[in-house]
Amino acid sequence: MILQLGAQRVKIDSGELVSYQVDDHEYIHQKGSPGWRNSDTEMFPIIGPTAEAGFQVQTPRDVAIQDQHGLLRELEYDLVSQSDTEAVYRKSYVKRTPISNSKYPEKSNKKLLYWTYDFEFEKKFEITESGLEISFTISGEKDTPFMLGYHPAFNLVTKNPVVIAEEHTISLSEVMAVGSKAFKVIGYDEVILKDKHEVRIQTEGFGNFMLWTEVPNMICIEPITFYPYQVSQKNLHDGFEYLKDTSKTFKVFISVDD
């Protein structure tokens, strides 16, 4: 699917943002390039690894079986609506439904995953005159526990790109040095990626970021509600927030300056 407005062009494949171009410059990491096999995904209902906890996550209702970053990525999006500048996708889950784990058996000994709550997850793309807005609406019963992370990968074309969070400047080498745990940027709603062009990532509802890459040609700039490596895997539940009503919306806004 293609969305377009002026010099902006967005390509979406089954709910995944695979291209964002402005004036023909590509800002999203391309599949097949070194670094990562995806271009974006979501981390829900948990963020972080679970192997050391036997893939078990404690919820108020019971123990759930979750692999790294949750089971949402194992579900397929349904297209709800589309226009020239907007597209809405949705995933739905019924509590305790077993879901096949794509990491099994190579990277996990759990063939099936499940969560202990129903949920509906909506992802909306909208191009405006100012940039690209991606929103996530989580729906479920009141007090449903969850963490949420958005995991987009950005294309890099210069030798010394940096990420700026207010007074902090973070180099690519610093991010790579942290490794799989990802570089934490806690307490910020906005960061700027300075590469050939300047990319501003503004958020609502997340409050934190983490940065990850293993190669110099891309970087993942990930808005998160909780940085999972500050607790043990057995205590991941310490990072839950809970639906206060029946739904909550989070937003990411990507804009570009020359």
DSSP 40-70: --EE-S--S--GGGTTEEE-SS-EEE--TT-
Q: For the whole model, what pTM was predicted?
A: 0.96
CB contact at 8 A, 143 and 246: no
Residue 53: what pLDDT? 96
Question: pLDDT 10s digit of each residue in the chain, 258 long?
Answer: 999 999 999 999 999 999 999 999 999 999 999 999 999 999 999 999 999 999 999 999 999 999 999 999 999 999 999 999 999 999 999 999 999 999 999 999 999 999 999 999 999 999 999 999 999 999 999 999 999 999 999 999 999 999 999 999 999 999 999 999 999 999 999 999 999 999 999 999 999 999 999 999 999 999 999 999 999 999 999 999 999 999 999 999 999 986
3-state secondary structure of 105: coil
C-alpha distance from residue 71 to each of 2, 82, 93, 222 (Å)? 27, 26, 10, 17
Residue written as token pair 């690519």: 172
Residue 232: what pLDDT? 96
Distance in angstroms (rounded) separating the CA atoms of residues 38 and 30: 8
**Domains, in order of start, for the chain:** 2-257 (2.70.98.10)
